[in-house]
Amino acid sequence: MEQIETLIIGSGPAGYTAAIYAARADLKPVLYTGLEPGGQLTTTTEVENFPGYPDGVDGPSMMLELQKQAERFGTDVRIGHVTDVLFSKEKGGQHNITCEDGKKIQTKTIIISTGASAKYLGIPSEKRLIGGGVSACAVCDGFFYKDQEVVVVGGGDTAAEEATYLSKICKNVTILVRRDIMRASMAMQHRVNKASNISVLYNTEVDEVIGEKIVEGVRIKNNKTGEKKEIKISGLFIAIGHSPNTKLFEGQLEMDKDGYLITKGKSTKTNLPGVFASGDVQDREYRQAVTAAGTGCMAALDAERYLQSLDDES
């Protein structure tokens, strides 16, 4: 059984920022990267809105820089994921953690920064064709559809960003938006409008993905008129938002109806002593790299103060 002071789960901007602060406070943090090292930003192209990068930075490079910064102060970054947690309900109690390699860890503080994962539509034909033309990551898979026809589903910033990225590779991109407006920011909508090979169909949803082993087309439905039609495509990109990665904590930590962890007031404290949450896993509102990093910093400060209060009491 390994005994540590602070465990961080997750390696997005929240996890790494928590690690930088915890390491500099000499909490000797161990960070488990999770299944997607670097988190969601590793699937994005250019990040233009993170302060301090006047010319923008690509997501994977930014995450490598954050990892280096966390390691520079002594964070023990481990590639792997946590498979089981048993939290203590007592102040000062040890939280018991099991990792994928069977390793067991006891820690007095734990910072959960497990982020969120892409949502899918949930129709059987979509599920069957994931990996066969259905994707939730244009940066990862766009290359396979060079000079081909593709569809992007969703009306938010992710959909706009994915469509813009794909428009540079693919022949034509059609965005399906279920309402009569896009939720995406005006800046992102301008990019969409500027691309000559992107068209947007409003009030339109996916009725069925066509193809046995690979995507051959999609049947779309106008949700105002009920009219259906088929379009031939080879790639279907789903960009309809994310859900928080909190399954591991069900039954132990308080969550809202969609599974986001609930934190107390302006802090990162969960309902259990010594357990803190930062980043998208507890934020359904802002979900930005910079806000995730901010709450990562807060979680490390909350953990440090919690450990200090235990010392003061002993």
Which residues are near ligand NDP by CB under 6 A?
49, 121, 153-159, 161, 178-179, 183, 205, 240-242, 287
- In the bound state with ligand NDP, the residue whose beta carbon lies nearer, of 21 and 165, is 165
- In the bound state with ligand NDP, the residue whose beta carbon lies nearer, of 149 and 161, is 161
- In the bound state with ligand NDP, the residue whose beta carbon lies nearer, of 162 and 304, is 162
* Residues designated catalytic: 137, 140-141
Q: What is the rounded distance in angstroms from the CA atom of residue 296 to the CA atom of residue 259?
A: 19
- Phi first, then psi: give them for residue 150, nearest 5 degrees: -135, 160
Nearest approach in angstroms of CB 111 to ligand NDP is 22
- Phi first, then psi: give them for residue 285, nearest 5 degrees: -95, -55
Nearest approach in angstroms of CB 112 to ligand NDP is 19
DSSP collapsed to 3 states, 200-251: EECCEEEEEEECCCCCCEEEEEECCCCCEEEEECCEEEECCCEEECCHHHCC
Nearest to 14 by CA among 131, 133, 116, 126: 116
Nearest approach in angstroms of CB 163 to ligand NDP is 11
Nearest approach in angstroms of CB 95 to ligand NDP is 30
Residue nearest to ligand NDP according to CB distances in the complex = 156
- In the bound state with ligand NDP, the residue whose beta carbon lies nearer, of 67 and 158, is 158
Six token digits for residue 272:
């259990």
292 CB contacts (<8 Å, ≥6 apart)? Answer: 12, 13, 14, 17, 113, 115, 278, 279, 280, 283
